[in-house]
Amino acid sequence: MGFEFMEHLGKMLYIEAVYQLQPFLKHMAFNITDAKLLTEKWLLIPENVDILVTHLPPLGYCDLKRPGVHTGCAELLQIVLDHVQPKFHIFGQASYGYGCSTDGRINFVNACVQDAEGGSLRAAIVLDVKYHDHA
C-alpha cells in the first residue's frame, strides 16, 4: 500500500510506507528470523518509489543503536540500493543514528525523535522535496 502525493500541475510523488519488518533483535512484533524470508518480503517493495518509509534502517546508514553498534538490515540495504532506488529512504528505530546521510543517489534519513534513553524528543527533520519534470 502506498500513498500518492500531488501538488501543483499534477506532479506526483509515490510514497511507499508499510514496511515495519525487522530481523530478530528481541521479542517484538514484526520480527523475521530467516534472512531469505526477510529478503522475499523486502522484494515486495515496488520500484519507482520516490520516498520509502520503513521502521528499520538499512545497514550502515544512520543505523547506530548506541556508539559502535549498527542495527541496520543488510538485506534491506541490498534491496534499496539494487531494486527500489528511492530518492529518499526514511526510517527510525536506531536512536543514535538520528540525522541524514547519502550515497550520492539515495538520501537516507533517520527521523527517530526519541533519544537513546527513550526520553527527550529531538527536532523533526523537514525535507524539501523538489520535483524535476524530465519530460
Helices (H), the chain: 35-42, 74-79
Which residues 6+ apart lie within 8 Å of 7 measured at CB? none
pTM: 0.74
Could you tell me if residue 22 is inside a domain? yes
Q: In the chain, which stretches have pLDDT less than 50?
A: 1-9, 24, 29
Say if 118 falls within a structural domain. no
pLDDT tens, residue by residue, 51-88: 888 888 999 999 988 888 898 888 899 999 999 999 99
Is 111 in contact with 124 (CB distance < 8 Å)? yes
**Is residue 27 assigned to a domain?**
yes
Residue 131, domain member (yes or no): no
22-23/31-32 β-pairing: parallel
* Total structural domains within the chain: 1
Torsion of CA 104, 106, 107, 112, to 10 degrees: -140
- Helices H / strands E in the chain, number of each: 2, 10
Q: What is the pLDDT of residue 20?
A: 54
Tell the residue number behind the cell numbers 528505530, with chain if given: 93
- pLDDT of 80: 95
Q: What is the CATH number of the domain that holds 93?
A: 3.60.21.10
pLDDT score at 66:
82
> CA-CA distance, 23 to 75, in Å (whole number)?
9
Q: Has residue 42 been placed in a domain?
A: yes
